[in-house]
Amino acid sequence: MVNDHARLAELAMPQSLPRTRTSFRLARAHRQVVLIVHVLASVGLFGIALTALGFATLALRSDDTSMRQALLRAIELLDRPLLPILAVVSVASGVLLCLGTAWGLFTHVWIVTKQVIMATLIVTGVFWIGESARQALEVGTPSAVLLGLYASHLALLVTATTLSIVKPKAQLKKEMTR
Ligand code: HEM
């Protein structure tokens, strides 16, 4: 029975993947804590994008000026400071998991794809969404571009979550064993 539990835990969180050459390994308990933080921060980004898209849609449809202002101000609050904090935590914990486990940073296609997705989210978030959200607050209504950006972020975050769960086997380079 105890062995069955150990086997199930091993399947859920494989420790026995071929090892990549990294300088340290996270202990099981530490890995679990970092993974919890990572999933909360990453899925939190999805929650923010979904909420902001909902608020922007409501603001676009509302005839009430004060309601529109309140919704746009709420979007601005989500955009700063919540979004950058969660993005930094997601990237930092993700990189820690890569380096501290057998996954590695540049071995698996699903992990490199998530890094590209995160880079896209951060660049468009900082340089495009932030500006569009501030403009929306100034003119009192969100632009179609802002809605499109949030919808694209949602699609990218769904892709990242799906990749994380499915973990396709494709590799960029052979894992190094030691
Ligand atoms: C720089 C960006 C990212 C890196 C380097 C990264 C890396 C990783 C790694 C290595 C794991 C496996 C951890 C383990 O098994 O111990 C993982 C798990 C996970 N990641 Fe990320 N990640 C990143 C971004 C994201 C994003 C944007 C999302 C979703 C919105 C996400 C969602 C998840 C989820 C749900 C898991 C848990 C999968 C499972 O345990 O079955 N990650 N991530």
Q: Which has the closest alpha carbon to 6: 14, 39, 166, 100?
A: 14
CB 109 within 8 A of CB 39: no
Instruction: Kindly report the backbone phi and psi dihedral angles of residue 141, in degrees, each rounded to the nearest multiple of 5, phi listed first.
Output: -155, 145
Residue of minimum CA distance from atom 4 in ligand 1: 94
What residue's CA is closest to ligand 1, atom 20? 164
Ligand 1 centroid, distance to 138 Cα (angstroms): 37
- Tell me how far apart the alpha carbons of residues 54 and 35 are, in angstroms, rounded to a whole number: 28
pLDDT in tens, the chain (178 residues): 434 443 444 444 554 444 455 578 999 999 999 999 999 999 999 999 999 999 999 999 999 999 999 999 999 999 988 999 999 999 999 999 999 999 999 999 999 999 999 999 999 999 999 999 999 999 999 999 999 999 999 999 999 999 999 999 999 877 654 3
Ligand 1 atom closest to the Cα of residue 161 is 29
Q: What is the pLDDT of residues 48-81, one digit of tens each?
A: 999 999 999 999 999 999 999 999 999 999 998 8
Residue ranges covered by each domain of the chain: 26-177
d(CA 147, CA 60): 9
Say if ligand 1 is within 6 A of residue 46 CB. yes
Q: What is the pLDDT of residues 141-153, one digit of tens each?
A: 999 999 999 999 9
Q: Looking at ligand 1, which atom is closest to the CA of residue 13?
A: 15
Ligand 1 pocket member 42 (CB < 6 A): yes
Distance CA 150, CA 54 (A): 9
CB-facing half-sphere around the CA of 75: CA atoms within 13 A: 35
Q: How far is the CA of 164 from the centre of ligand 1 (A)?
A: 5
Question: Could you tell me the distance, in angstroms and rounded to a whole number, from the CA of residue 38 to the centre of ligand 1?
Answer: 7
d(CA 139, CA 141): 6
Cα(37) to centroid of ligand 1, in Å? Answer: 10
Q: Is the CB of 113 under 6 A from ligand 1?
A: no
